[in-house]
């Protein structure tokens, strides 16, 4: 027994004083710390990367939101514009339909269209004033000729017709029925002559000549046909 204890004690002392065993313990402890430090660094790096990814993701989301808001705003603006244009087109279609109905009605009633006006050549002879009142009753008035094109259009119809021109208020001061003074003249040669001092109303006459100059002054009480004029698209 004494030998056994002696051997165990010797082995124990040998182990406790073996430098290789101490070196192994120190080495293992250092490696463990280095591994722990490396893991810590890796974890920090992962956290930093995750943070950067979050920042990038948040930046992307903010950018997408801003882009979406711009797109939504542009879409809403374009939609409003299209709705406005659609309403305008609907209004234009309605106006066009009304114009077509207006024209169809007047064509059926015998009116003729030229430029921006409708013209009605009466078939019953009346005085200048009676012809004027007939025109007013139709929403028109005796024709006012204010261009060469209109004069040539009127001259395309034969006969003697009252036009909306007179000097009944002041002798020699010819005015149209709307009160505007005469500026464009298409009197026949030698007219107006106020023959007998009673020729205060104007007629368009093409009995003797088909020249551009076709106006003549005559007494307002004579019986003649009339030419009514109204705006084509009120």
User: With left for phi above 0 and alpha for psi between -120 and 50, is residue 49 left, alpha or beta?
Assistant: alpha
**Same structural domain for residues 70 and 22?**
yes
Q: What is the pTM of this model?
A: 0.63
**Which region among 87-91, 109-113, 142-146 has the lowest average model confidence (pLDDT)?**
87-91
Q: How far apart are alpha carbons 153 and 109 in whole angstroms?
A: 19
Peptide bond into 192 cis (omega under 30): yes
The range of the structural domain enclosing residue 24 comes to 2-105
- The number of residues in the chain equals 234
Q: Would the pLDDT of 219 be above 80?
A: yes
Q: What is the pLDDT of residues 118-149, one digit of tens each?
A: 999 999 999 999 999 999 999 999 999 999 99
User: With contact defined as beta carbons under 8 Å apart, do 230 and 117 qualify?
Assistant: yes
The number of folded domains in the chain is 2
**Same structural domain for residues 138 and 160?**
yes
Q: Which of 74, 105, 136 is the last residue of a domain?
A: 105
Rg of the chain over all Cα atoms, to the nearest angstrom: 54
Q: Which H or E run includes 196?
A: none
Instruction: Take residue 188 and report the two structure tokens written for it.
Output: 């026949």
Q: How far apart are alpha carbons 201 and 183 in whole angstroms?
A: 16
């Amino acid at each position: 027994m004494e030998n056994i204890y002696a051997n165990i004690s010797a082995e124990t002392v040998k182990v406790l004083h073996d430098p290789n065993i101490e070196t192994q313990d120190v080495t293992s402890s250092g490696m463990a710390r280095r591994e722990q430090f490396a893991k810590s660094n890796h974890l920090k790096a992962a956290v930093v990367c995750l943070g950067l990814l979050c920042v990038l993701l948040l930046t992307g989301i903010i950018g997408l939101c801003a882009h979406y808001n711009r797109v939504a705003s542009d879409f809403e603006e374009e939609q409003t514009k299209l709705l406005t244009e659609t309403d305008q087109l609907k209004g234009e279609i309605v106006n066009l339909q009304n114009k077509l109905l207006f024209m169809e009605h007047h064509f059926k009633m015998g009116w003729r269209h030229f430029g921006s006006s409708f013209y009605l050549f009466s078939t019953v002879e009346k005085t200048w004033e009676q012809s004027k009142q007939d025109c007013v009753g139709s929403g028109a008035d005796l024709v006012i000729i204010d261009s060469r094109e209109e004069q040539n259009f009127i001259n395309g119809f034969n006969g003697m017709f009252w036009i909306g021109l007179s000097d009944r208020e002041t002798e020699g001061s010819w005015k149209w029925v709307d009160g505007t003074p005469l500026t464009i003249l298409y009197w026949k040669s030698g007219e107006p002559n106020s023959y007998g001092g009673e020729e205060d109303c104007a007629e368009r006459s093409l009995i003797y000549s088909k020249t551009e100059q076709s106006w003549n002054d005559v007494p307002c009480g004579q019986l003649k046909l009339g030419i009514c004029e109204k705006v084509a698209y009120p």
